[in-house]
Each structure stands twice: as structure tokens, then as C-alpha cells.
Structure 1
Amino acid sequence: MRRKDKNISDEAIIEHILHTADICRLGLVDKDEAYIVPVNYAYSNGTIIIHSAGNGRKIEIIRQNNKAAFEIEGGYAIETGEKACEWTTKYRSVMGKGIITIVTNVLQKKAGLDLIMKNMAGARMR
């Protein structure tokens, strides 16, 4: 990171961002091409949980190459200024990489979807 003064290393702050941010951008590699897709997500016990349909480009890429990168962000606000170069966007983000595991167990899938809905809606859905 270029701006070391902006780097967040406090685990509690990182956990807070992961639990409260709005969006996750998932980075994958499709053969020799980068592919980034925004996904709904939840964070629990060191794991980022995302949803995917059973078919489509995202899941097909994951089946071929389960290595991924991600960027999660939230808390953004635009700060204005008198001149264009004084405008900026404030936000907090977490970036990382990992291995995707496709969940096949129905109970684990339901638990993951419940967590995603809690993150999005603030409550479990029926």
C-alpha cells in the first residue's frame, strides 16, 4: 500500500469492516483473463461466504480455478472542496486472497444464505 498512514492493521477494525461493509468484489482468473464480479457476502469465523447460482460464468471459473482475490468496502462518503483536486472519497476497505470451497451440504448452504441475508437485511429471512 502506497499510503502507509492509511493502512488498517487493527484486527478489531478489520473485523468491523468485514461485518458491516456493503459489497464484495470477487476477483477470479478465467484462463488468461481477469474477471471481477460484485457479490453479496457475509463474514463469519474468518470465512467470507458468497452466493452463486449453480451455473454461469462465475461458478464455471471457480470450478476450473478456485484461487480468488477480493475487495470489500463500506463507509464511503464524498468530501467536496472548492477546487476539483480537493474532492476525495473516504472509505474503508479490506483486500485479500484465498481459496474458494464450493459448499454442497444443504444445511451448510442454508446457514450461509442465512448469514448473507443477515448481513444484507439485518435479520434472517424465512
Structure 2
Amino acid sequence: MCRDKEPNVVPMAFGYKNGVIYLHSLKKGRKIETLRINPNVCFETETDYELVPSDSPCSYNMKYRSVIGFGTATILKDEDEIKEGPGVIAGRYHDGGCDPKSLSTGRLAVIRI
């Protein structure tokens, strides 16, 4: 994210479904204020990381797969969409069911990229 020419990186849990990245946040705070001012974002994630040791600590290396992308963040307004996002996020981290219909969304903001 970028606000007033000042970039800001925020580590966040996310979910991915049908070409959409979902994030969640509280409805108030710097992150949401920044996205309302400038919805253009860059994201990065990595997986399959592995330390490649060497005889010399200065020669260690890393193996990993990563994705870097750009998009437009939308703070969702539709209640059904708002409830879908956390279900997608929870599904990425937990195999058990998260029933999105049971979520209370009072203070929750869901962001779609």
C-alpha cells in the first residue's frame, strides 16, 4: 500500500478463490484509511522455502517459490461477499468447516483484490 508517497507493507492472512484474494481487517485503522485513499496494491507470498546450507555461513542460500502481483483493493459492502471472504481465508489455514453465514461482521472489513 502507499499513502502520501510513503509505502507500507502489512503482513496479513489471506485466502484465494476464483482469481480473487481475500483479506480481512478491522473497519477502522491505518490500513483501511490507506486503501480508501489509494486502492492500488502490490502483494507477495512465498511457499516451499528451504535453507540450502553450505560449508560457509556466508554461502548459504534459499530455495522458494513466490508470487508477486498488483491489483486494486476493494473494501466489500455486500453482506454475502463480506461473509464469503473469511470463509475462504479460514479454508486456507484450517481443513475444518468455517460457516461464513455464522460470522458476525459488525467490526469486520473484508478486502478483495
Match in the other structure for 2:86: 113
Helix, strand or coil at the partner of 1:52: strand
**Structure 1 residue identity aligned to 2:15:** A
Consecutive unaligned residues of structure 2, counting only runs of 5 or more, are 100-113
Aligned partner of 1:41 among 2, 11, 14: 14
Report how far residue 107 of structure 1 moved: 1.4
Match in the other structure for 1:90: 63
Residue 51 (str. 1) matches residue 5 (str. 2) = no
Identity over aligned residues, as a percent?
A: 33
More helix, by proportion: 1
Give the whole-Å Cα distance in 2 for the aligned partners of 1:123 and 1:110: 17
Report how far residue 35 of structure 1 moved: 0.3
Tell me if the contact between 1:71 and 1:95 (Cα under 8 Å) persists in the aligned partners: yes
TM-score relative to the length of structure 2: 0.82
TM-score relative to the length of structure 1: 0.74
**Structure 1 residue identity aligned to 2:47:** G
CA RMSD of aligned residues (A): 1.2
- My pick for the range that moved more, 94-103 or 83-92, is 83-92
Give the whole-Å Cα distance in 2 for the aligned partners of 1:43 and 1:50: 9
Consecutive unaligned residues of structure 1, counting only runs of 5 or more, are 1-27
